[in-house]
Every structure is written in C-alpha cells, then in structure tokens.
Amino acid sequence: MFQLGWFGNLTAPEWAPSPTSPYVTDDATTWMDGRFYIDQARNLERAGFDFLMLEDSLMVPDMYRGTSEMALKHARYAPKLDPVVAASMLAYATEHIGIICTASTTFYNPYQLARQFATLDHLTRGRIGWNMVTSSEDRAAQNFGMERLPEHDLRYEMADEFKRCVEALWMSWDEDAIVADPDTGYYADFTKVHRADFEGRFYSSRGPLNVPRSPQGTPVYCQAGGSPKGRDFAAKHTDLILNIPIGVEGMKEFRNDIRRRAEGFGRNPDDIKVFWVVLPIIGETEAEAKAIEQAWADAKDYNFEINMAHFEATQEIDMSQFDPDKPLPDDVTTNGHQSTLANTKKAWGDKTIREAASESSRITSIPLVGTADQVAERMGEVAEEVGGDGFLIYNQPMSRHYIASITDGLAPALRRRGLIRTGFKHQHLRDNLRDFA
C-alpha cells in the first residue's frame, strides 16, 4: 500500500478551457471566498488522501522582460491567499485529512510561527503540517525590507537553527501543564511551563510560548529540497519529503540517498515518507487520455509562456536575455531552486530554449496516462519497484473537472486493488502517515 497527497495552491482555478478542464466555471472569480478549496478538501478526504499540501510564494514575479505580465496573465505564483490563515477554515470543513501549510524560515519570526502552528494544531485536533521552505526569490526578500536573500546554503543553516528555536518554544509547555483544578484554584501548573531561553547565531527567543502543548507536540514536518544541502536538511528534520523524480531509477536513487542520510543523522529511515510528485492524466479510454496528453504537447505558445513564468518565479532568471534559438548557456546559475535548475538543464540538454520551453510544461516524472485502471495499475507497479512511500498529485491551475477525475476515477481504482487506505485509523496526521511501513 501507499499514500496520497495533493499539491494545492490558493490561487485562481482554471479560468479557460484546457485539455484536462474543458469547462469554464465562475470559480476563477469566486475562489477568494474559499468555497472552491473547501469542496476540494472534502473530496480529497472522501477519496482517501492523507493530506492537502498548500504551497506559497510571497511576491508578484516581474523578472521576465521586466514586467509581471507572464505571472499575472496565467495566474501563476500570483494572486494567492495565505495558506496559514486558510488552513483553519479547511480543517473545520473536514474531519481526517491533514493540512500542510508552507511557511518560510527566511521571513517568519520563530515565535510568530511557533504560536500560529501550535494554534492550528489545536484547531485541527492534530492534523496540521508545516512545509518548511527557505524561499528562493529576491523579490520576496524585498517585500520584507531585505535587498536580497542570504546565499543558498546559508539559508539552510538558518532554517536548521530556526527549527530548533520553534521546537524549544513548542516544548516549553509540559503535556500535563493544564490541570484545571477547582479545588486548588490552579488552571495551569506554573512549574510545568518553562522558558525556552534559546540563543543561536541567527535567532533567539526567551519564551515560554503562550499556547499550550499542541496535540502532536510539533506539526508534521514537510520539505522539498533537492540540492545536497536540501537533502541533508530533509533527512535530518522531516517526516515527509516531496520530490519530482526523473523516472523510476531517479526515484530509487533519491529514496535510497535520503534513507542513507537519515541513518547518518541517527534517524529511523522508515519515519521519513518520500512522496513522488506526479501528474496522472485520466481518460475514459486510453485513446482519450493520450489525446489529452497530445493536446498539452501541441500547446506550444502556452507552454513557452508558462515555462518563462516558472523560471522568473523559481529561479529569478529573465530568460528573455538569452537567444531563444540557442541552448541555455552552461554558466547560468541561481540563488533560488538549484535542484530545479539542474534538472532543467539535464532535461533540456542540447535543445534550444525555444524548442525545450515550448514542450509540454506538465510534470512527466513518470508517465501516468490512460484509463483510471491503467494508471492505478502502473502506480502500483512503480510503488512495488521503488519501495514506497506515496504520490503527491500536482496539476496547476486547478479545476473541479480534474479533481473529479482523480477522486472519482483514479482513487476508487487504486482502492479496488488494495493500494490506498479505506479509512483513517488515527486522529493525528503524523500517526496516519506512519500507518504503512
């Protein structure tokens, strides 16, 4: 068996017909009231998904040709709602599914983050997770009064200390600190509430936190770093890791590497779940699914613009400075998502920028195209060959049509094969994630 997660973003759903969403709805202008995402979370929970992961970014990209045209034309990376604020609404509308919120260690204050996530863990009765990111955009830094981000590896050093600081705050209340004893008149036992007194190179906090110990103690830790520094951070700190593999062999290499690193940090590698980011394309027939895939491949102008928007947001590289009829220069570097740039260079090879960027922008980590039964069968084979642990389904922008193809098509096909859960055994997200070895 394996587990399912969903990559979500609180931005505009599909607003025009596309191969995977042939219908136009009013969701594109009403999504900001949250009802679209409530419906999404409920459908995912019904389908047996372990969690909904809400990504985030903190800027409006404007690197490509010096304007925000590409980002706003396609509603990629902006506009966007705050996932930490939205999480309590989504949790109140559901009972079991975990809600994982993205929050940046570069821009948050440790006390603020500790207080917000402890609050969310209480409000969700132990279903909250934290997707730990270091951020990758100087434009975001400039929104917080900084000229530019710290260097890539330094951001991970800061994140390591940030996590230790917030944990000191979360642990400042003993589990039995609240006594609510009418005989003694004490609500909380002051001897069981402690100062954190955390002093580090980058952060300090006196404590104690003014929120009691939450149901899980700490939120579930999630991370998606692919660089050597990011892999070390994930292996040392996280409960689950998100990765976009290149084929089954890439999946094996990544999972084995993470498990080896985890053992090096004295951790049980079985406590870390690796979720593969995939994009299943489901059709009522195999021919229909392949036609959908081909339609994305044929949308060359769209694909080119989406890839330009992706580069300006995640790499902060203005691709318009390069000759589009030549390959991407070898000496291009970034202080942003380094593993994404490395994977792009590898995938593009000797193709010109125009050729490579005009190809389908859909995630093709492993081909999952066909009927619900065909895709379910293939996911089972891959999980068996790789050794687990789960799949994170990604499609952007989102639509009710695509969600239904997964929750009402693929998920039942997986369940018929005994590949995914039929119910939730535990209240807490971390316990449900560790259901399957």
- Provide the pLDDT confidence category of residue 198 given band limits of 50, 70 and 90: very high
Instruction: From 336, 313, 284, 275, select the one nearest 396 (Cα to Cα).
Output: 313
Q: What is the mean pLDDT of residues 19-24?
A: 85
Work out the pLDDT band at 294, boundaries 50, 70, 90. very high
**What pLDDT score does 197 carry?**
98
311 φ, ψ to 5°?
-65, -45
Question: Helices 83-92 and 110-123 meet at what angle, rounded to 10?
Answer: 10
Which fold does the domain 3-150+215-286+363-433 belong to in CATH?
TIM Barrel (3.20.20)
Alpha carbon separation from 211 to 12, 108, 171, 193, 203 (Å, rounded): 34, 18, 10, 10, 20
Q: Where are the alpha helices (DSSP H) in 223-285?
A: 228-237, 247-264
Cα separation of 131 and 213, whole Å? 20
Spatial contact of 282 and 406, defined as CB atoms under 8 Å apart: yes
Nearest CA to 246 among 342, 314, 316, 330? 342
pLDDT at 270: 93
234-267: per-residue pLDDT in tens?
999 999 999 988 899 999 999 999 999 999 999 9
Predicted confidence at residue 415, as pLDDT, reads 97
Per-domain boundaries in the chain: 3-150+215-286+363-433, 289-357
**What is the dihedral angle through the alpha carbons of 120, 51, 157, 309, rounded to the nearest 10 degrees?**
-110
Q: How many CA atoms lie within 13 A of 11 on its CB side?
A: 25
Predicted local confidence at residue 185, as pLDDT: 97
Q: 77: pLDDT confidence band, cut at 50, 70 and 90?
A: confident
CB neighbour class for 413 (10 Å; exposed up to 12, middle 13-18, buried from 19):
buried
Would the pLDDT of 1 be above 60? yes
pLDDT for 361 beyond 70: no
Mean pLDDT estimate for the chain: 93
Neighbouring C-beta atoms of residue 73, cutoff 10 Å: 11
- Residue spans of alpha helices (H) in 265-371: 286-298, 300-314, 338-348, 353-357
Residue 325 CB neighbour total at 10 angstroms: 9
Distance CA 430, CA 423 (A): 15
Rounded to the nearest 5°, which phi and psi values hold at 144? Answer: -115, 20
Structure tokens belonging to residue 317: 């590289």
* Residue 362 pLDDT: 72
Which stretch of 154-163, 301-310, 397-406 has the lowest confidence by average pLDDT?
A: 301-310
Indicate the SS3 state at residue 252. helix
Give the pLDDT of residue 317. Answer: 85
Q: Is residue 437 predicted with pLDDT exceeding 70?
A: no
DSSP conformation letters of 44-101: HHHHT-SEEEE----S----GGGSSHHHHHTTSS-S---HHHHHHHHHHT-SS-EEEE
Q: Which residues contact 202 (CB under 8 A, 6 or more apart)?
A: 157, 158, 161, 162
pLDDT mean over 336-349 = 77
Check whether 386 has a pLDDT greater than 80.
Answer: yes
Mean pLDDT (whole number) for 370-379: 98
b/e 389-411 (16+ beta carbons within 10 angstroms → b): bbbbbbbbbbbbbbbebbbebbb
Decide: helix, strand or coil at residue 135. Answer: coil
Please say if the pLDDT value at position 335 is more than 90.
no
The contacts of residue 42 (CB under 8 Å, 6+ apart) are: 93, 94
Beta-carbon contacts of 87 under 8 Å, excluding residues fewer than 6 positions away, are 54, 99, 101, 120, 124, 128
Spatial separation of the C-alpha atoms in residues 152 and 140, rounded to whole Å? 15
